[in-house]
A and B are shown apart, each in its own frame.
Chain A
């Protein structure tokens, strides 16, 4: 990993430029170390992504040089841990600050799953098999961005990975669950979008009036469970 000054008050830590769970667990460990060992008054904003950590620092509280030095120290700790860790230790350190696993109920019915047939045909599977594969996995929340609360989840099983739509939809309904290649995500609010829509959740993902704002943050884990139309409607879902 390397630290780069991006602008006067931002730095980016770049990791191996690959999308995989092992790389991401290193990133999560680094974030934990940064949060515990760097003065939190220095950090104004942090954007975690698949292969990077972008940090805005408060340049009236710390100079770029001192902040970079503090980050280097924090990352040395992460490296040290990694070198000594075998898998058992890794599992243990994950347990020390466990990731939340959030269960998201999804209605996969045809009224809302606009592209489920396309995904199934493309994969040479039945709709039921696609749903079974989509719900069988626990996904990492790799990043939040694009829109407030929009979570990039991965990795989708290669059997159901499907390319984005050639032309994006003008409107994708709030709560829509989509697939784009090996990523899956939920649209937190109505917006344009090109992901293949395979279902919809009645859960509200972002609420500006709630103290938590979002259901999850980068580093959490998510799994999907299938729900019936009746359950979906009962939880306030719309068709």
Chain B
């Protein structure tokens, strides 16, 4: 009735779609960094969009299925194997009692989602089992702890069905250019991200926006579930800080050193740095998979265009809100 963790990996976390409605008391959303991959894994298995999965970051994770079921992996290629036979992401698989799945090291991307049919059975805290270490919320121990060796992550055994695969046009579905699903370049070394510019008094300013859109930026090694730090041309802003205010997912902050930070799922609910804008929600999936060194370029998008894309995305996957 469970998946037994053999090797914990660098950071393997139980995540559902996230924790909502509690930002007023300072509780962040949590949830999958790559929502696109997460939602596909649930969709392949016919699960509810919110069904809990394991987000495996960087690899070095292995676990044994104690009962047979259907499972799916989507997202990064972390050179996964089942009983030492290589398997590819974006597909569902049958597994038998005693089968061991392992994720070794990233081939492309950083985070792979492991789902089972029906979802893992994890008790929610504050309405969600999303693991947020800083807030001591979620996970199988309900206190924000990551998975460790010996943990049992419960699920209900399921009969085998035909396996399914994500259509190749959706695998890179992060971009409109179709690429073969076998391609290892699903998360390329250079990506373009669209962002909704900040037009308010908290904006880092015209000159800052100009610098940000004219020069390439690189993903630094300082990336975690709270935020991704970028490096590149120094962004000068006339504002040293702003009065702390609520912060949206994907916000691009400019701290004093002029090197932007993009705020992710586990961000603090409030922040006090000038803001360049907000990365388009649907572009955060591929961004969250980008390795240190990935080259980024940024183009403005209107909020209306981005909103339409997000509605389509949520409707496609049956997300309720």
**Residues in chain A within 8 A of chain B (CB atoms):** 2, 4-10, 12, 14, 17-19, 44-54, 56, 58-61, 63-65, 143-150, 152, 189, 206, 208, 213-214, 217-218
Q: Which of B270, B309, B314 contacts A49 (CB 8 A)?
A: B270
B47 at the interface (CB under 8 A from A): no
A7-B249, A54-B23 known; 19 new pairs, CB 8 Å cut-off, are A6-B198, A7-B196, A14-B200, A14-B201, A17-B243, A18-B243, A44-B21, A47-B246, A48-B246, A49-B243, A60-B319, A63-B307, A65-B304, A145-B268, A147-B134, A148-B25, A149-B25, A189-B136, A217-B24
CB pair B26 A60 closer than 8 Å: no
Which residue of A18, A52, A145 is within 8 Å of B26 (Cβ)? A145
Please tell me the size bucket of the interface on B. 35 or more
| B200 A60 Cβ-Cβ under 8 A | no
Given A2-B200, A7-B250, A54-B245, A144 and B25 touching (CB < 8 A)? yes
- Considering only CB atoms, which chain A residue lies closest to B27 in the complex? A148
Distance of A150 Cα from B71 Cα, bound (Å): 40
Produce 1/0 per residue, B225-249, CB < 8 A to A: 0000000000000000011111111
Q: A56-B23, A59-B311 are in contact. Are A6 and B278 (CB under 8 A)?
A: yes
Known: A44-B321, A47-B269, A208-B125. A144 touches B26 (CB 8 A): yes
Q: Interface 1/0s, chain B 300-321, versus A by CB < 8 A?
A: 0001101101110011000111
Interface 1/0 per residue, B17-33 and A, CB below 8 Å: 00011111111000000
Nearest CB in chain A to that of B311: its residue: A59
5 contacting pairs across A/B (C-beta < 8 A): A46-B24, A47-B269, A60-B319, A145-B270, A213-B25
**Quick one: given A7-B249, A54-B246, A64-B307, are A146 and B136 in contact (CB under 8 Å)?**
no
B307–A59 CB distance below 8 A = yes
Q: Which chain B positions have C-beta within 8 A of A8?
A: 196, 280-281, 303, 306-307, 309-310
A10: nearest chain-B partner, CB-CB: B248
Residues of A within 8 A of B244 (CB): 49-50, 143, 145, 152
User: A65–B251 Cα gap in the complex (Å)?
Assistant: 21
Q: How far is the CB of A142 from chain B (nearest CB, A)?
A: 9
Contact partners of B149 in chain A: CB under 8 A: none
> A4 is contacted by which of B137, B200, B280, B304 (Cβ under 8 Å)?
B200
Q: How far is the CA of A44 from the CA of B202 in the complex (A)?
A: 23
- Closest chain B residue, CB of each to CB of A17: B243
Task: Note all chain B residues with C-beta closer than 8 A to A2.
Answer: 200
Chain B residues with Cβ under 8 A from A149's Cβ? Answer: 25-26
Task: Assess the A144–B24 pair: CB atoms within 8 A.
Answer: yes
Q: Are the C-beta atoms of B126 and A208 separated by less than 8 Å?
A: yes
Q: Is B224's CB within 8 Å of the partner chain A?
A: no
Q: Are B137 and A19 in contact (CB under 8 A)?
A: no
B245 lies within 8 A of A51 (CB): yes
Q: How far is the CA of A48 from the CA of B269 in the complex (A)?
A: 10
* Contact status A64-B25, CB under 8 Å: no
In the bound complex, residues from chain A placing their C-beta under 8 Å from that of B136 are 189
Instruction: For the complex, give the distance between the alpha carbons of A206 and B126 in Å.
Output: 12
Q: Which residue of chain A lies nearest to B269 when distances are taken between CB atoms in the complex?
A: A145
Ranked 10 nearest A-B pairs via Cβ? A54-B246, A47-B246, A145-B270, A7-B278, A52-B245, A10-B248, A45-B23, A8-B310, A8-B307, A4-B200
Query: Which residues 242-268 of B sit at the A interface, judged by CB distance below 8 A?
Result: 242-251, 268
Chain A residues positioned under 8 Å from B306 (CB to CB): 7-8
Q: Are B125 and A146 in contact (CB under 8 A)?
A: no
The smallest C-beta distance from A96 to any residue of chain B, in angstroms, reads 21
Q: Which residues of B are found within 8 Å of A18, using beta-carbon distances?
A: 243
**B128: min CB distance to chain A, Å:** 12
A6 contacts across to B, CB distance below 8 A: 196, 198, 248, 251, 278
Q: Which residues of B contact A64 (CB under 8 A)?
A: 303-304, 307
Contact partners of A148 in chain B: CB under 8 A: 22, 25-27, 135, 137
Cβ contact within 8 Å between A51 and B311 = no
The verdict on A12 contacting B281 (CB below 8 Å), with A56-B23, A64-B307 known, is no
Which residues on the B side are within 8 Å of A150 (C-beta)?
26
Contacts of B303 in A (CB 8 A): 5, 7-8, 64
Residues A9 and B202 in contact, CB atoms below 8 Å apart? no
Asked if B184 is an interface residue, CB under 8 A from chain A, the answer is no
- Tell me the bound Cα distance from A146 to B242 in angstroms: 15
Which of A7, A14, A217 meets B25, CB within 8 Å? A217
Specify which chain A residues have a CB less than 8 angstroms from the CB of B26 in the assembled complex: 144-150
Select from chain B the residue with minimum beta-carbon distance to A209: B125
Bound together, the chains give a CA A5 to CA B249 distance in angstroms of: 13
| Residue of chain B at shortest CB distance from A65 | B304
Indicate whether B199 reaches chain A with its CB closer than 8 angstroms.
yes
